[in-house]
Structure 1
């Protein structure tokens, strides 16, 4: 069985395949990697999950690892929401280092009732669902992804899982039911928002529908939007000439 936590790390860009560090730490290697293998640069998510904008997490979030990064961002947004401030007031001028969620809160990965690995799998499924929201992963694109997945170095079992998830129809009931706490509802939305920058009506509509099904208040969603936007930066290393 593949490691869901590692797959989540890969999808969020915590590691650049073919290197031993993050996108920011290994910029030089990533540039060369882009020339040799466009699929493996700019994080797998930029290729597999269709992050068209070429934006990824800041270095401080990457250092935490995928599960902790999602939890940290969700917890930060929730804190800002609880403070009663407007998102613009809560947004920092200079993005500080992202801190993990406190261990004694339900946001911390160790507090997941179903276990860290199982919840990491839920977050991966949430990301894939969000990536498919605008329909850009059509049959032809799935074929291209399938042809090149092995180059990403994620392992055959992870490949098989991703292929299967790409083929599955959206099951929002299953995704929502996977949340065992209010914190996990916030994390599912956060992971979904990390995957896409909603620049189409379909993407925005999907996120709005997800927020409604998760019963998240509008004011909290605004803080998640602000927090995620502040945590994402341009990925300069990506190969702009390649659609993959």
Structure 2
């Protein structure tokens, strides 16, 4: 499964969806022509439906996500006694399917953080994912049991560039913070080993 392609489509379709909403056309199925595959539409419909994921339009693509995370890390690193991380490390998710997968998992977990996804929502989302059995199975699994912050952190490992991108993507999904989302993000930042100063810079880059 090409997680990098799916994630890029999710971010691209989110950007197109916001443009269409601003022009008075707010239906997700009208943005499939923007290059978003069925899997991207299905995942995005869940994020929009649960948390108003229009904030994803700030990202637009994996390259933009990496760039924003790198800018945040640069500002953080200039103020703290931490080793710099090369810019190319922030482009990892564009070539690494496992990196894209954990970013997607974090986004879905963030979308589900405010409460359980109902059976009706699951059916609606799966109907939009398309006929690819592998994608159907993966999305269904992630909706039924979203990745825990511990599992997300385990997959990220000791990779500060990926940790910053994972948090940034999750934060943008949780645009309107409620108590459960605040708890989720705090636990995610702690599990990823992100200190308060870096989290603050990532929040700024996300526009919060």
Same topology, TM > 0.5: yes
In the alignment, which residue of structure 2 is the partner of 1:3? 2
RMSD over equivalenced CA pairs, Å: 3.4
- 201-210 vs 167-176, greater mean Cα deviation: 167-176
Counterpart check, 1:143 vs 2:117: no
In the alignment, which residue of structure 2 is the partner of 1:193? 171
**What TM-score, normalized to structure 2?**
0.76
In the alignment, which residue of structure 2 is the partner of 1:97? none
Q: For structure 1, list consecutive stretches of 5 or more residues without a partner in the other structure.
A: 17-21, 86-100, 231-244
In the alignment, which residue of structure 2 is the partner of 1:102? 87
Whole-Å Cα distance in 2 between the matches of residues 197 and 26 of structure 1?
A: 18
Given candidates 78, 84, 97, the residue that maps to 1:83 is 78
Deviation at 1:47, TM superposition (A): 1.3
In the alignment, which residue of structure 1 is the partner of 2:154? 177
Runs of 4+ aligned residues of structure 1 deviating over 3 Å after TM superposition are 24-28, 30-33, 37-46, 53-56
Check the 8 A contact 1:3/1:117 in 2, yes or no: yes
In the alignment, which residue of structure 1 is the partner of 2:64? 69
Whole-Å Cα distance in 2 between the matches of residues 164 and 57 of structure 1?
A: 26
In the alignment, which residue of structure 2 is the partner of 1:34? 27
**What TM-score, normalized to structure 1?**
0.66
Given candidates 151, 159, 183, the residue that maps to 2:136 is 159
Deviation at 1:54, TM superposition (A): 3.4
Residues 31-74 of structure 1: per-residue CA shift (max 9 Å, x gap): 66839x3695997354122332633324xx42xx32x2222111
Q: Which structure has more helix as a fraction of its residues?
A: 2
Q: For structure 2, list consecutive stretches of 5 or more residues without a partner in the other structure.
A: 35-39, 81-85
Choose 1 or 2 for highest CA Rg.
1
Counterpart check, 1:119 vs 2:102: no
Q: Identify if the C-alpha distance between structure 1 residues 31 and 149 changes in structure 2 by more than 3 Å, giving closer, same or farther.
A: farther
Check the 8 A contact 1:33/1:40 in 2, yes or no: no
Higher relative CO (Cα under 8 Å, sequence separation at least 6) belongs to 1
Q: Identify if the C-alpha distance between structure 1 residues 3 and 34 changes in structure 2 by more than 3 Å, giving closer, same or farther.
A: same
SS at match of 1:134: coil
